[in-house]
Chain A
Amino acid sequence: MSRKPYQRRKYWNEPTMGGWERFYLFEIVRGLSITGRVFLRNMGKWLTGRKGALTAYYPEEIRKDYAAHNRGKHILTQRPDGRPQCIACNMCATVCPAQCIEIEAGFDPEDAAHPKYPSRFEIDYSRCVFCGFCVEACPEDAIRMVKITPDLPSGDRHDMWFRRDELLGWHPQRDVAKPYPPKPDGKAGGNP
Protein backbone atom coordinates (compact mmCIF):
# COMPACT_ATOMS: atom_id res chain seq x y z
CA MET A 1 0.00 0.00 0.00
CA SER A 2 1.67 3.13 -1.20
CA ARG A 3 0.53 6.60 -0.41
CA LYS A 4 1.12 9.42 -2.72
CA PRO A 5 3.74 11.74 -1.27
CA TYR A 6 2.41 15.06 -0.12
CA GLN A 7 2.58 17.70 -2.70
CA ARG A 8 1.97 21.26 -1.87
CA ARG A 9 -0.92 22.61 -3.83
CA LYS A 10 0.15 25.14 -6.33
CA TYR A 11 -1.99 28.18 -6.03
CA TRP A 12 0.23 30.74 -7.66
CA ASN A 13 1.05 31.42 -11.27
CA GLU A 14 4.50 31.10 -12.64
CA PRO A 15 5.77 34.42 -13.95
CA THR A 16 5.11 34.33 -17.65
CA MET A 17 7.12 37.36 -18.67
CA GLY A 18 10.04 36.71 -20.95
CA GLY A 19 13.15 38.79 -21.37
CA TRP A 20 11.42 41.10 -23.81
CA GLU A 21 8.70 42.06 -21.35
CA ARG A 22 11.18 42.30 -18.51
CA PHE A 23 13.23 44.81 -20.45
CA TYR A 24 10.17 46.98 -19.91
CA LEU A 25 10.94 49.72 -22.40
CA PHE A 26 9.31 48.22 -25.47
CA GLU A 27 6.30 47.04 -23.52
CA ILE A 28 5.82 50.59 -22.28
CA VAL A 29 5.96 51.84 -25.84
CA ARG A 30 3.38 49.24 -26.79
CA GLY A 31 1.08 50.24 -23.93
CA LEU A 32 1.44 53.91 -24.76
CA SER A 33 0.67 53.25 -28.39
CA ILE A 34 -2.52 51.42 -27.42
CA THR A 35 -3.77 54.20 -25.17
CA GLY A 36 -2.59 56.82 -27.62
CA ARG A 37 -4.45 55.09 -30.42
CA VAL A 38 -7.67 55.08 -28.42
CA PHE A 39 -7.13 58.74 -27.59
CA LEU A 40 -6.56 59.72 -31.21
CA ARG A 41 -9.54 57.69 -32.40
CA ASN A 42 -11.90 59.26 -29.87
CA MET A 43 -10.42 62.71 -30.38
CA GLY A 44 -10.91 62.36 -34.13
CA LYS A 45 -14.53 61.49 -33.52
CA TRP A 46 -15.03 64.50 -31.25
CA LEU A 47 -13.32 66.85 -33.67
CA THR A 48 -15.46 65.68 -36.58
CA GLY A 49 -18.63 66.29 -34.64
CA ARG A 50 -19.36 62.73 -33.60
CA LYS A 51 -19.48 61.35 -30.10
CA GLY A 52 -16.23 59.72 -29.05
CA ALA A 53 -17.45 58.18 -25.82
CA LEU A 54 -19.63 55.36 -24.64
CA THR A 55 -21.16 57.48 -21.89
CA ALA A 56 -24.64 58.92 -22.23
CA TYR A 57 -25.18 62.46 -21.03
CA TYR A 58 -27.39 61.62 -18.12
CA PRO A 59 -30.47 63.76 -17.86
CA GLU A 60 -30.32 65.10 -21.41
CA GLU A 61 -29.88 61.83 -23.19
CA ILE A 62 -31.75 58.52 -22.93
CA ARG A 63 -29.67 55.42 -22.95
CA LYS A 64 -30.06 53.37 -26.09
CA ASP A 65 -29.66 49.99 -24.44
CA TYR A 66 -32.76 49.77 -22.25
CA ALA A 67 -34.58 46.48 -22.87
CA ALA A 68 -38.14 46.67 -24.17
CA HIS A 69 -39.37 45.13 -20.91
CA ASN A 70 -37.29 47.42 -18.71
CA ARG A 71 -39.10 48.38 -15.51
CA GLY A 72 -38.80 52.12 -15.62
CA LYS A 73 -41.27 54.77 -14.76
CA HIS A 74 -44.91 54.13 -13.84
CA ILE A 75 -47.90 55.22 -15.85
CA LEU A 76 -51.56 55.13 -14.88
CA THR A 77 -53.70 53.77 -17.66
CA GLN A 78 -56.83 55.66 -18.60
CA ARG A 79 -60.44 54.93 -19.49
CA PRO A 80 -61.57 56.14 -22.90
CA ASP A 81 -62.93 59.31 -21.32
CA GLY A 82 -59.50 60.08 -19.83
CA ARG A 83 -60.26 59.27 -16.19
CA PRO A 84 -57.88 56.86 -14.47
CA GLN A 85 -58.58 53.16 -14.65
CA CYS A 86 -57.50 52.98 -11.02
CA ILE A 87 -60.22 52.14 -8.46
CA ALA A 88 -58.14 53.18 -5.45
CA CYS A 89 -58.11 49.68 -3.97
CA ASN A 90 -54.71 50.31 -2.39
CA MET A 91 -53.34 46.91 -3.37
CA CYS A 92 -50.27 48.40 -5.01
CA ALA A 93 -49.61 50.61 -2.01
CA THR A 94 -49.97 47.57 0.25
CA VAL A 95 -47.63 45.33 -1.72
CA CYS A 96 -45.06 48.04 -2.29
CA PRO A 97 -41.92 46.99 -0.37
CA ALA A 98 -40.57 50.52 -0.39
CA GLN A 99 -43.90 52.01 0.69
CA CYS A 100 -43.56 54.75 -1.80
CA ILE A 101 -47.10 54.85 -3.24
CA GLU A 102 -49.65 57.11 -1.62
CA ILE A 103 -53.29 56.90 -2.64
CA GLU A 104 -56.22 58.89 -1.40
CA ALA A 105 -59.59 57.58 -2.58
CA GLY A 106 -62.31 59.86 -3.80
CA PHE A 107 -66.06 59.17 -4.29
CA ASP A 108 -67.82 59.91 -7.52
CA PRO A 109 -71.63 59.38 -7.32
CA GLU A 110 -72.01 60.18 -11.01
CA ASP A 111 -70.17 57.05 -12.15
CA ALA A 112 -72.19 54.12 -10.89
CA ALA A 113 -69.77 51.50 -12.28
CA HIS A 114 -66.66 52.99 -10.68
CA PRO A 115 -67.67 55.19 -7.79
CA LYS A 116 -64.24 55.01 -6.17
CA TYR A 117 -61.38 56.80 -7.84
CA PRO A 118 -57.96 58.09 -6.71
CA SER A 119 -58.14 61.76 -5.88
CA ARG A 120 -54.45 61.57 -5.05
CA PHE A 121 -51.98 59.08 -6.49
CA GLU A 122 -48.35 59.85 -5.80
CA ILE A 123 -45.15 57.88 -6.18
CA ASP A 124 -41.97 58.85 -4.40
CA TYR A 125 -39.17 58.03 -6.80
CA SER A 126 -36.54 58.71 -4.24
CA ARG A 127 -37.75 55.52 -2.54
CA CYS A 128 -39.08 53.37 -5.38
CA VAL A 129 -37.02 50.24 -5.98
CA PHE A 130 -38.57 49.45 -9.38
CA CYS A 131 -39.54 45.92 -8.37
CA GLY A 132 -42.75 45.90 -10.37
CA PHE A 133 -44.89 44.39 -7.57
CA CYS A 134 -47.44 47.16 -7.94
CA VAL A 135 -47.98 46.23 -11.57
CA GLU A 136 -48.47 42.58 -10.66
CA ALA A 137 -50.76 43.38 -7.77
CA CYS A 138 -53.11 45.64 -9.70
CA PRO A 139 -56.48 43.93 -10.42
CA GLU A 140 -57.49 46.54 -12.96
CA ASP A 141 -54.34 46.88 -15.05
CA ALA A 142 -54.36 50.49 -13.96
CA ILE A 143 -50.62 50.84 -13.28
CA ARG A 144 -47.91 49.81 -15.68
CA MET A 145 -44.21 50.38 -16.00
CA VAL A 146 -42.66 51.68 -19.18
CA LYS A 147 -39.23 51.36 -20.62
CA ILE A 148 -37.94 54.83 -19.86
CA THR A 149 -36.72 55.70 -16.38
CA PRO A 150 -38.08 58.64 -14.42
CA ASP A 151 -35.27 61.15 -14.82
CA LEU A 152 -35.66 63.34 -11.77
CA PRO A 153 -32.13 64.31 -10.75
CA SER A 154 -32.47 66.83 -7.99
CA GLY A 155 -30.84 68.14 -4.90
CA ASP A 156 -34.14 67.99 -3.03
CA ARG A 157 -36.04 64.80 -2.32
CA HIS A 158 -39.33 66.64 -2.55
CA ASP A 159 -38.70 67.14 -6.23
CA MET A 160 -38.72 63.42 -6.81
CA TRP A 161 -42.46 62.81 -6.61
CA PHE A 162 -44.77 62.03 -9.50
CA ARG A 163 -48.39 63.01 -8.94
CA ARG A 164 -51.54 61.62 -10.45
CA ASP A 165 -51.83 63.96 -13.40
CA GLU A 166 -48.22 63.45 -14.38
CA LEU A 167 -48.64 59.69 -14.17
CA LEU A 168 -51.77 59.97 -16.31
CA GLY A 169 -50.73 62.45 -18.93
CA TRP A 170 -47.25 61.20 -19.43
CA HIS A 171 -45.35 61.80 -22.63
CA PRO A 172 -41.68 61.07 -22.94
CA GLN A 173 -41.19 64.02 -25.25
CA ARG A 174 -42.60 66.48 -22.75
CA ASP A 175 -40.92 64.91 -19.79
CA VAL A 176 -38.24 67.53 -19.16
CA ALA A 177 -39.46 70.26 -16.88
CA LYS A 178 -41.32 69.06 -13.82
CA PRO A 179 -43.45 71.35 -11.66
CA TYR A 180 -42.44 70.93 -8.06
CA PRO A 181 -45.02 69.44 -5.71
CA PRO A 182 -45.50 71.38 -2.48
CA LYS A 183 -43.25 70.62 0.43
CA PRO A 184 -44.83 69.27 3.62
CA ASP A 185 -44.85 72.67 5.29
CA GLY A 186 -47.10 73.91 2.54
CA LYS A 187 -45.15 77.09 1.94
CA ALA A 188 -42.54 76.43 -0.71
CA GLY A 189 -43.15 74.88 -4.10
CA GLY A 190 -45.78 76.11 -6.44
CA ASN A 191 -47.92 73.46 -8.06
CA PRO A 192 -51.59 74.35 -8.38
Chain B
Amino acid sequence: MKQDLVIHGIYIAFAIGLLMTFGLILTWVERKQAAVMSDRIGANRAYLRIPFTQVKLVWWGLFHGLADGMKMLLKEDFRAASYDRVAYALGPWVVFAPVLLVFAVIPFGGQLVPAQLVDSPELAAWFGDRTYRMQIADLDAGLLVIFAFGGVTVIGSMLAGWSSNNKFSMLGAIRSASQMISYELVMGLTVLGRILIYGTVDLTEIVQQQSGVIAGFLPAWGLFLQPFAAVLFMTAAQAENRRIPFDLPEAESELIAGYFTEYSAMKMGLFMFAEFIEIAIIAALFVTLFLGGYNLPYMSDAGFTLPGGHFIALSHGTVVLLQVLTFLVKVFLMCSFQILVRWSLPRFRYDQLLRFAWKFMLPLAIANLIVTVVAVWAIRGAGA
Protein backbone atom coordinates (compact mmCIF):
# COMPACT_ATOMS: atom_id res chain seq x y z
CA MET B 1 0.00 0.00 0.00
CA LYS B 2 2.78 2.36 0.92
CA GLN B 3 4.48 1.43 -2.31
CA ASP B 4 1.43 2.48 -4.32
CA LEU B 5 1.36 5.79 -2.51
CA VAL B 6 5.03 6.45 -3.31
CA ILE B 7 4.65 5.56 -6.96
CA HIS B 8 1.52 7.60 -7.42
CA GLY B 9 3.04 10.52 -5.54
CA ILE B 10 5.90 10.45 -7.99
CA TYR B 11 3.48 10.29 -10.91
CA ILE B 12 1.46 13.23 -9.66
CA ALA B 13 4.55 15.33 -9.01
CA PHE B 14 5.81 14.41 -12.45
CA ALA B 15 2.53 15.33 -14.13
CA ILE B 16 2.11 18.64 -12.35
CA GLY B 17 5.74 19.57 -12.89
CA LEU B 18 5.46 18.57 -16.51
CA LEU B 19 2.34 20.60 -17.18
CA MET B 20 3.61 23.68 -15.36
CA THR B 21 6.89 23.49 -17.23
CA PHE B 22 5.08 23.07 -20.51
CA GLY B 23 2.83 26.01 -19.71
CA LEU B 24 5.79 28.19 -18.82
CA ILE B 25 8.00 27.13 -21.70
CA LEU B 26 5.29 27.23 -24.31
CA THR B 27 4.79 30.96 -23.75
CA TRP B 28 8.40 31.35 -24.78
CA VAL B 29 8.26 28.72 -27.53
CA GLU B 30 5.26 30.44 -29.03
CA ARG B 31 6.98 33.82 -29.24
CA LYS B 32 10.23 32.37 -30.41
CA GLN B 33 8.72 30.10 -33.02
CA ALA B 34 6.59 32.92 -34.36
CA ALA B 35 9.73 35.00 -34.63
CA VAL B 36 11.70 32.31 -36.42
CA MET B 37 8.81 31.71 -38.79
CA SER B 38 8.78 35.35 -39.77
CA ASP B 39 12.53 35.93 -40.09
CA ARG B 40 12.77 37.70 -36.77
CA ILE B 41 14.83 37.01 -33.65
CA GLY B 42 12.19 37.04 -30.96
CA ALA B 43 12.37 37.40 -27.22
CA ASN B 44 16.03 37.30 -26.24
CA ARG B 45 16.66 39.93 -23.57
CA ALA B 46 15.45 38.57 -20.25
CA TYR B 47 18.18 36.96 -18.19
CA LEU B 48 18.87 35.55 -14.77
CA ARG B 49 21.93 36.94 -13.03
CA ILE B 50 23.65 34.52 -10.71
CA PRO B 51 23.70 36.30 -7.35
CA PHE B 52 26.94 38.05 -6.35
CA THR B 53 28.42 37.58 -9.80
CA GLN B 54 28.12 39.28 -13.14
CA VAL B 55 27.27 36.00 -14.89
CA LYS B 56 24.08 36.52 -16.80
CA LEU B 57 22.18 33.47 -18.00
CA VAL B 58 20.38 34.57 -21.12
CA TRP B 59 19.75 31.18 -22.73
CA TRP B 60 18.09 32.56 -25.83
CA GLY B 61 15.57 34.45 -23.73
CA LEU B 62 14.21 31.32 -22.04
CA PHE B 63 13.45 33.30 -18.90
CA HIS B 64 10.90 35.53 -20.58
CA GLY B 65 8.16 33.17 -19.41
CA LEU B 66 9.42 33.56 -15.86
CA ALA B 67 9.51 37.34 -16.24
CA ASP B 68 5.94 37.29 -17.56
CA GLY B 69 4.83 35.23 -14.59
CA MET B 70 6.50 37.58 -12.15
CA LYS B 71 4.85 40.53 -13.82
CA MET B 72 1.45 38.88 -13.60
CA LEU B 73 1.93 38.10 -9.92
CA LEU B 74 3.04 41.62 -9.01
CA LYS B 75 0.37 43.54 -10.87
CA GLU B 76 -2.63 45.11 -9.25
CA ASP B 77 -5.49 42.68 -8.87
CA PHE B 78 -8.24 44.79 -10.34
CA ARG B 79 -11.80 43.79 -9.51
CA ALA B 80 -14.66 44.55 -11.82
CA ALA B 81 -17.68 46.34 -10.38
CA SER B 82 -19.71 43.19 -10.64
CA TYR B 83 -22.69 41.87 -8.73
CA ASP B 84 -21.27 38.41 -8.48
CA ARG B 85 -17.86 38.43 -6.90
CA VAL B 86 -17.85 34.71 -6.17
CA ALA B 87 -18.37 33.74 -9.78
CA TYR B 88 -15.86 36.37 -10.83
CA ALA B 89 -13.20 34.92 -8.55
CA LEU B 90 -14.15 31.35 -9.42
CA GLY B 91 -13.98 31.78 -13.20
CA PRO B 92 -10.23 31.42 -13.77
CA TRP B 93 -10.00 28.40 -11.50
CA VAL B 94 -12.87 26.62 -13.19
CA VAL B 95 -11.02 27.13 -16.45
CA PHE B 96 -7.67 26.13 -15.02
CA ALA B 97 -8.37 23.09 -12.84
CA PRO B 98 -10.04 20.76 -15.39
CA VAL B 99 -7.17 21.35 -17.77
CA LEU B 100 -4.79 19.92 -15.21
CA LEU B 101 -7.17 17.10 -14.29
CA VAL B 102 -7.40 15.84 -17.85
CA PHE B 103 -3.78 14.75 -17.75
CA ALA B 104 -4.58 12.28 -14.96
CA VAL B 105 -5.88 9.66 -17.36
CA ILE B 106 -3.31 10.07 -20.11
CA PRO B 107 -0.69 7.28 -20.04
CA PHE B 108 2.80 8.71 -20.37
CA GLY B 109 4.60 5.35 -20.32
CA GLY B 110 4.01 1.63 -20.42
CA GLN B 111 4.31 -0.83 -17.57
CA LEU B 112 6.54 0.11 -14.68
CA VAL B 113 8.06 -2.66 -12.59
CA PRO B 114 9.88 -0.78 -9.83
CA ALA B 115 11.73 -3.91 -8.69
CA GLN B 116 13.52 -4.19 -12.02
CA LEU B 117 14.14 -0.46 -12.43
CA VAL B 118 17.54 -0.26 -10.79
CA ASP B 119 19.85 -3.01 -9.60
CA SER B 120 19.08 -2.73 -5.89
CA PRO B 121 18.00 -5.72 -3.76
CA GLU B 122 16.32 -3.60 -1.05
CA LEU B 123 14.16 -1.82 -3.58
CA ALA B 124 13.30 -5.10 -5.26
CA ALA B 125 12.36 -6.64 -1.92
CA TRP B 126 10.22 -3.67 -0.93
CA PHE B 127 8.27 -3.50 -4.17
CA GLY B 128 8.06 -7.26 -4.75
CA ASP B 129 6.39 -8.12 -8.01
CA ARG B 130 4.12 -5.11 -8.16
CA THR B 131 3.61 -3.53 -11.57
CA TYR B 132 2.16 -0.15 -12.29
CA ARG B 133 0.81 1.49 -15.40
CA MET B 134 2.47 4.84 -15.95
CA GLN B 135 -0.72 6.80 -15.61
CA ILE B 136 -2.04 8.67 -12.61
CA ALA B 137 -5.63 7.44 -12.64
CA ASP B 138 -6.01 4.03 -14.21
CA LEU B 139 -9.63 4.44 -15.22
CA ASP B 140 -11.63 2.25 -17.57
CA ALA B 141 -13.49 5.27 -18.85
CA GLY B 142 -10.41 7.36 -19.62
CA LEU B 143 -11.66 8.91 -22.81
CA LEU B 144 -15.02 9.79 -21.28
CA VAL B 145 -13.27 11.46 -18.36
CA ILE B 146 -11.33 13.60 -20.79
CA PHE B 147 -14.50 14.72 -22.50
CA ALA B 148 -16.24 15.35 -19.19
CA PHE B 149 -13.45 17.55 -17.86
CA GLY B 150 -12.97 19.20 -21.23
CA GLY B 151 -16.60 20.25 -21.08
CA VAL B 152 -16.18 21.82 -17.65
CA THR B 153 -13.69 24.37 -19.00
CA VAL B 154 -16.36 26.25 -20.88
CA ILE B 155 -18.35 26.72 -17.68
CA GLY B 156 -15.40 28.67 -16.34
CA SER B 157 -15.33 30.97 -19.32
CA MET B 158 -19.11 31.37 -19.10
CA LEU B 159 -18.82 32.29 -15.41
CA ALA B 160 -16.04 34.73 -16.15
CA GLY B 161 -17.89 36.36 -19.01
CA TRP B 162 -21.17 36.60 -17.20
CA SER B 163 -19.85 37.87 -13.88
CA SER B 164 -17.55 40.49 -15.39
CA ASN B 165 -20.46 42.86 -15.96
CA ASN B 166 -19.15 43.79 -19.37
CA LYS B 167 -20.72 43.47 -22.80
CA PHE B 168 -17.49 42.31 -24.41
CA SER B 169 -17.05 39.60 -21.82
CA MET B 170 -20.66 38.52 -22.23
CA LEU B 171 -20.31 38.25 -26.00
CA GLY B 172 -17.06 36.36 -25.60
CA ALA B 173 -18.65 33.91 -23.20
CA ILE B 174 -21.62 33.30 -25.49
CA ARG B 175 -19.34 32.75 -28.44
CA SER B 176 -17.18 30.46 -26.35
CA ALA B 177 -20.16 28.33 -25.41
CA SER B 178 -21.59 28.04 -28.90
CA GLN B 179 -18.17 27.24 -30.32
CA MET B 180 -17.67 24.63 -27.63
CA ILE B 181 -20.98 22.93 -28.43
CA SER B 182 -20.24 22.90 -32.14
CA TYR B 183 -16.75 21.53 -31.98
CA GLU B 184 -17.19 19.17 -29.05
CA LEU B 185 -19.67 17.33 -31.24
CA VAL B 186 -17.19 16.98 -34.08
CA MET B 187 -14.49 15.89 -31.69
CA GLY B 188 -16.74 13.29 -30.06
CA LEU B 189 -17.81 11.83 -33.40
CA THR B 190 -14.20 11.63 -34.53
CA VAL B 191 -13.12 9.87 -31.39
CA LEU B 192 -16.08 7.49 -31.70
CA GLY B 193 -14.38 6.03 -34.74
CA ARG B 194 -11.28 5.36 -32.70
CA ILE B 195 -13.34 3.70 -29.97
CA LEU B 196 -14.99 1.46 -32.55
CA ILE B 197 -11.65 0.29 -33.89
CA TYR B 198 -10.11 -0.43 -30.52
CA GLY B 199 -13.26 -1.53 -28.78
CA THR B 200 -12.39 0.30 -25.56
CA VAL B 201 -12.31 3.76 -24.00
CA ASP B 202 -9.40 2.85 -21.76
CA LEU B 203 -6.51 5.01 -22.94
CA THR B 204 -3.83 2.54 -21.87
CA GLU B 205 -5.54 -0.17 -23.88
CA ILE B 206 -5.75 2.15 -26.87
CA VAL B 207 -2.05 2.91 -26.68
CA GLN B 208 -1.12 -0.75 -26.24
CA GLN B 209 -3.11 -1.67 -29.32
CA GLN B 210 -1.11 0.89 -31.29
CA SER B 211 2.21 -0.74 -30.46
CA GLY B 212 2.14 -3.33 -33.23
CA VAL B 213 2.95 -3.07 -36.90
CA ILE B 214 0.55 -2.95 -39.82
CA ALA B 215 1.38 -3.98 -43.39
CA GLY B 216 4.74 -5.26 -42.32
CA PHE B 217 6.57 -1.99 -41.72
CA LEU B 218 4.15 0.80 -40.76
CA PRO B 219 3.67 1.31 -37.00
CA ALA B 220 0.03 0.68 -36.09
CA TRP B 221 -0.57 4.27 -35.08
CA GLY B 222 -3.99 5.80 -35.36
CA LEU B 223 -2.61 8.36 -37.75
CA PHE B 224 -1.96 5.68 -40.36
CA LEU B 225 -5.21 3.84 -39.71
CA GLN B 226 -7.39 6.95 -39.77
CA PRO B 227 -5.52 9.92 -41.18
CA PHE B 228 -8.76 11.71 -41.86
CA ALA B 229 -9.93 11.41 -38.27
CA ALA B 230 -6.57 12.74 -37.13
CA VAL B 231 -7.01 15.94 -39.17
CA LEU B 232 -10.58 16.39 -37.95
CA PHE B 233 -9.62 15.77 -34.35
CA MET B 234 -6.74 18.22 -34.46
CA THR B 235 -8.95 20.91 -35.98
CA ALA B 236 -11.71 20.39 -33.47
CA ALA B 237 -9.25 20.31 -30.59
CA GLN B 238 -7.74 23.60 -31.68
CA ALA B 239 -11.21 25.06 -31.83
CA GLU B 240 -11.86 23.77 -28.32
CA ASN B 241 -8.76 25.54 -27.13
CA ARG B 242 -9.88 28.82 -28.77
CA ARG B 243 -6.58 29.46 -30.48
CA ILE B 244 -6.21 31.71 -33.44
CA PRO B 245 -8.03 30.32 -36.41
CA PHE B 246 -10.88 29.79 -33.96
CA ASP B 247 -10.25 32.44 -31.33
CA LEU B 248 -13.56 34.20 -31.75
CA PRO B 249 -14.32 34.20 -28.00
CA GLU B 250 -11.32 36.39 -27.40
CA ALA B 251 -10.97 38.10 -30.76
CA GLU B 252 -8.85 41.12 -29.88
CA SER B 253 -9.99 43.29 -32.76
CA GLU B 254 -13.65 42.81 -31.90
CA LEU B 255 -13.96 41.97 -28.22
CA ILE B 256 -10.78 43.36 -26.61
CA ALA B 257 -10.03 40.09 -24.83
CA GLY B 258 -13.39 38.38 -24.83
CA TYR B 259 -14.51 36.72 -21.66
CA PHE B 260 -11.45 37.78 -19.67
CA THR B 261 -11.54 41.44 -20.59
CA GLU B 262 -12.19 42.46 -17.00
CA TYR B 263 -9.50 40.27 -15.49
CA SER B 264 -6.04 41.45 -14.64
CA ALA B 265 -2.91 40.26 -12.88
CA MET B 266 -2.65 36.54 -12.14
CA LYS B 267 -6.36 35.92 -12.70
CA MET B 268 -5.84 36.87 -16.32
CA GLY B 269 -2.57 34.96 -16.18
CA LEU B 270 -4.47 31.84 -15.19
CA PHE B 271 -6.57 32.07 -18.32
CA MET B 272 -3.46 32.40 -20.43
CA PHE B 273 -1.70 29.65 -18.51
CA ALA B 274 -4.70 27.36 -18.91
CA GLU B 275 -4.63 28.02 -22.63
CA PHE B 276 -0.97 27.12 -22.87
CA ILE B 277 -1.34 24.00 -20.74
CA GLU B 278 -4.27 23.01 -22.87
CA ILE B 279 -1.97 23.11 -25.88
CA ALA B 280 0.13 20.48 -24.15
CA ILE B 281 -2.98 18.52 -23.15
CA ILE B 282 -4.32 18.50 -26.69
CA ALA B 283 -0.92 17.43 -27.92
CA ALA B 284 -0.83 14.64 -25.35
CA LEU B 285 -4.32 13.53 -26.29
CA PHE B 286 -3.46 13.57 -29.97
CA VAL B 287 -0.30 11.62 -29.31
CA THR B 288 -2.23 9.09 -27.25
CA LEU B 289 -5.02 8.59 -29.76
CA PHE B 290 -3.20 8.96 -33.06
CA LEU B 291 0.55 8.79 -32.63
CA GLY B 292 0.89 5.64 -30.57
CA GLY B 293 1.45 7.33 -27.21
CA TYR B 294 4.74 6.34 -25.71
CA ASN B 295 5.45 3.74 -28.42
CA LEU B 296 8.47 4.05 -30.62
CA PRO B 297 8.14 2.15 -33.88
CA TYR B 298 9.16 -1.51 -33.53
CA MET B 299 9.69 -1.17 -29.78
CA SER B 300 8.10 -3.51 -27.26
CA ASP B 301 8.61 -3.88 -23.51
CA ALA B 302 11.60 -6.12 -24.11
CA GLY B 303 13.42 -4.13 -26.77
CA PHE B 304 13.44 -3.28 -30.45
CA THR B 305 12.29 -5.76 -33.08
CA LEU B 306 13.40 -4.33 -36.39
CA PRO B 307 11.54 -5.34 -39.59
CA GLY B 308 14.37 -7.63 -40.69
CA GLY B 309 13.81 -9.83 -37.63
CA HIS B 310 16.74 -8.22 -35.86
CA PHE B 311 16.26 -7.91 -32.09
CA ILE B 312 17.90 -5.48 -29.68
CA ALA B 313 17.29 -6.23 -26.02
CA LEU B 314 16.95 -3.35 -23.55
CA SER B 315 16.86 -3.31 -19.76
CA HIS B 316 13.64 -2.31 -18.04
CA GLY B 317 15.01 1.03 -16.85
CA THR B 318 16.07 1.98 -20.39
CA VAL B 319 12.69 1.02 -21.77
CA VAL B 320 10.85 3.13 -19.19
CA LEU B 321 13.11 6.09 -19.84
CA LEU B 322 12.76 5.72 -23.60
CA GLN B 323 8.99 5.52 -23.36
CA VAL B 324 8.66 8.62 -21.20
CA LEU B 325 11.09 10.53 -23.40
CA THR B 326 9.30 9.42 -26.57
CA PHE B 327 6.02 10.64 -25.16
CA LEU B 328 7.51 14.01 -24.20
CA VAL B 329 9.17 14.53 -27.56
CA LYS B 330 6.00 13.64 -29.41
CA VAL B 331 3.97 15.99 -27.21
CA PHE B 332 6.46 18.78 -27.77
CA LEU B 333 6.39 18.30 -31.54
CA MET B 334 2.60 18.43 -31.54
CA CYS B 335 2.68 21.60 -29.44
CA SER B 336 5.02 23.07 -31.98
CA PHE B 337 2.65 22.05 -34.75
CA GLN B 338 -0.24 23.80 -33.01
CA ILE B 339 1.83 26.94 -32.71
CA LEU B 340 2.66 26.66 -36.40
CA VAL B 341 -1.05 26.54 -37.19
CA ARG B 342 -1.73 29.46 -34.89
CA TRP B 343 0.80 31.69 -36.65
CA SER B 344 -0.09 30.60 -40.17
CA LEU B 345 -3.84 30.84 -40.50
CA PRO B 346 -6.05 33.91 -40.28
CA ARG B 347 -9.03 34.09 -37.96
CA PHE B 348 -12.46 32.99 -39.16
CA ARG B 349 -15.42 35.27 -39.25
CA TYR B 350 -17.99 34.21 -36.71
CA ASP B 351 -20.54 32.93 -39.22
CA GLN B 352 -17.75 31.12 -41.07
CA LEU B 353 -16.71 29.50 -37.82
CA LEU B 354 -20.13 28.01 -37.15
CA ARG B 355 -20.73 27.13 -40.79
CA PHE B 356 -17.37 25.39 -40.84
CA ALA B 357 -18.35 23.33 -37.82
CA TRP B 358 -21.88 22.35 -38.80
CA LYS B 359 -21.75 22.21 -42.58
CA PHE B 360 -18.20 21.01 -43.18
CA MET B 361 -16.66 19.31 -40.18
CA LEU B 362 -19.78 17.55 -38.93
CA PRO B 363 -20.67 15.84 -42.25
CA LEU B 364 -17.05 14.84 -42.67
CA ALA B 365 -16.94 13.43 -39.15
CA ILE B 366 -20.13 11.47 -39.74
CA ALA B 367 -18.80 10.19 -43.08
CA ASN B 368 -15.61 9.16 -41.34
CA LEU B 369 -17.64 7.36 -38.69
CA ILE B 370 -19.77 5.54 -41.27
CA VAL B 371 -16.72 4.41 -43.22
CA THR B 372 -15.13 3.20 -40.01
CA VAL B 373 -18.26 1.33 -38.97
CA VAL B 374 -18.51 -0.39 -42.35
CA ALA B 375 -14.82 -1.27 -42.34
CA VAL B 376 -14.92 -2.61 -38.81
CA TRP B 377 -18.06 -4.60 -39.58
CA ALA B 378 -16.51 -6.02 -42.75
CA ILE B 379 -13.29 -7.05 -41.01
CA ARG B 380 -14.75 -8.29 -37.75
CA GLY B 381 -17.77 -9.80 -39.49
CA ALA B 382 -15.56 -11.74 -41.84
CA GLY B 383 -13.51 -12.95 -38.94
CA ALA B 384 -16.43 -14.03 -36.77
Contact = CB atoms under 8 A, between A and B. Distances in A.
Q: Is B one of A's binding partners?
A: yes
Interface of A: 24-25, 28, 31-32, 34-36, 38-39, 42-43, 46, 52-55, 57
Contact of A53 (B33, B40, B345): B40
B340 A38 contact: no
Contacts of A28: 345
B344 A25 contact: no
6 contacts: A38-B39, A39-B33, A53-B35, A53-B41, A54-B40, A55-B39
B340 A36 contact: yes
B181 interface: no
B231 interface: yes
A24 B344 CA distance: 14
A53 B340 contact: no
Q: Which bracket fits the contact residues of B?
A: 10 to 19
A152 B344 CA distance: 36
A137 to B, nearest CB: 40
A121 B343 CA distance: 50
Interface in B97-141: none
A41 to B, nearest CB: 9
Contacts of B360: 24
B340 A55 contact: no
Contacts of A53: 35-36, 39-41
Nearest to A56: B41
B243 to A, nearest CB: 14
Given A28-B345, A36-B340, A39-B37, 6 more contacts: A24-B360, A25-B231, A32-B341, A42-B37, A53-B35, A54-B40
A89 to B, nearest CB: 44
B372 to A, nearest CB: 19
Interface string B327-347: 000000000000011011100
A183 B376 CA distance: 82
Contacts of A32: 340-341, 344-345
A85 to B, nearest CB: 41
Nearest to A46: B36
Contact of A35 (B35, B40, B343): B343
